[in-house]
Chain A
């Protein structure tokens, strides 16, 4: 069965970096994008970007450009999200999700987040 298992909770100081891992199993890792979504305490869901595990290509939300880096290690079916220059408002649960291609029309194809990791709590505190 498809599983995404994330690394454990992190506590970081402002200005530091955090790197969260997402290990995939039960499907062909290179076949679907991995997306990263975060959720601040009591808030909604915020899309951060996607990683193409096959090519290593990425697409980041403009808000995170310059601070986020998404990478992968195909030998161990693992995706990574690193966020640098942490601020207090980066405190959140970070999720990885598989982006399955749903349907295509008008020159574009949907990305449906059908499996999610369990989430990684990142605390930012001095």
Chain B
């Protein structure tokens, strides 16, 4: 199985900050990498697919990059509604493993 290592596990930031979350795959997955946002008590929401493509309706302050084994999710200017948990997931081959998540909290 492909292991997804996500860091940091938690992050404190302020409104307006630029934040970056990283995800590393245990083997090359090309750009078969998705990012999800999850708020408490809600289902995850697809933000980024194919490592860097923005899902429809997602604000442009979210961006993704990377290929192979190393990927990043960047939020350019944090808004209050962005405080949530974020998960990376490889969509290359089953089992479609997730990272352990990053909880983004208000400083």
Please report the C-alpha to C-alpha distance between residue A45 and residue B43 in the assembled complex, in whole angstroms.
10
Q: Is the CB of B8 closer than 8 A to any CB of chain A?
A: no
Question: C-beta contact mask, A85-120 vs B, less than 8 Å → 1, else 0?
Answer: 000000000010100001101101011111011110
Q: Is the Cβ of A46 less than 8 Å from the Cβ of B94?
A: no
Q: Is the CB of B91 closer than 8 A to any CB of chain A?
A: yes
Q: Which residues of A contact B55 (CB under 8 A)?
A: 114
Task: Say yes or no: A117-B49 contact (C-beta < 8 A), given A61-B95, A108-B32.
Answer: no
Interface size on A, residues (CB 8 A): 27
Q: Is the Cβ of A35 less than 8 Å from the Cβ of B96?
A: yes
Q: Report the minimum CB–CB distance from B45 to chain A (whole Å).
A: 8
Q: Is the CB of A59 closer than 8 A to any CB of chain B?
A: yes
- The interface size bin for chain B is 20 to 34
- Among residues 62 to 101 in chain B, which have CB atoms less than 8 Å away from a CB atom of chain A? 87, 89, 91-101
Q: Report the minimum CB–CB distance from B1 to chain A (whole Å).
A: 8
Q: Which of A44, A50, A116 is within 8 Å of B101, CB to CB?
A: A44
Q: Which residues of A contact B38 (CB under 8 A)?
A: 45
Q: Is the CB of B46 closer than 8 A to any CB of chain A?
A: yes
Q: Which residues of A contact B87 (CB under 8 A)?
A: 44-45
Q: Is the Cβ of A44 less than 8 Å from the Cβ of B100?
A: yes
Please report the C-alpha to C-alpha distance between residue A119 and residue B87 in the assembled complex, in whole angstroms.
17
Q: Is the Cβ of B95 less than 8 Å from the Cβ of A47?
A: yes
Residue of A nearest to B9 (CB): A44
Q: Which residues of B contact A44 (CB under 8 A)?
A: 87, 98-101
The chain A residues found within 8 Å of chain B, CB to CB, are 35, 37, 44-47, 49-50, 59, 61-62, 95, 97, 102-103, 105-106, 108, 110-114, 116-119
9 residue pairs, one from A and one from B, having the closest CB atoms: A116-B43, A110-B91, A45-B98, A112-B49, A61-B95, A44-B101, A47-B96, A44-B100, A110-B32
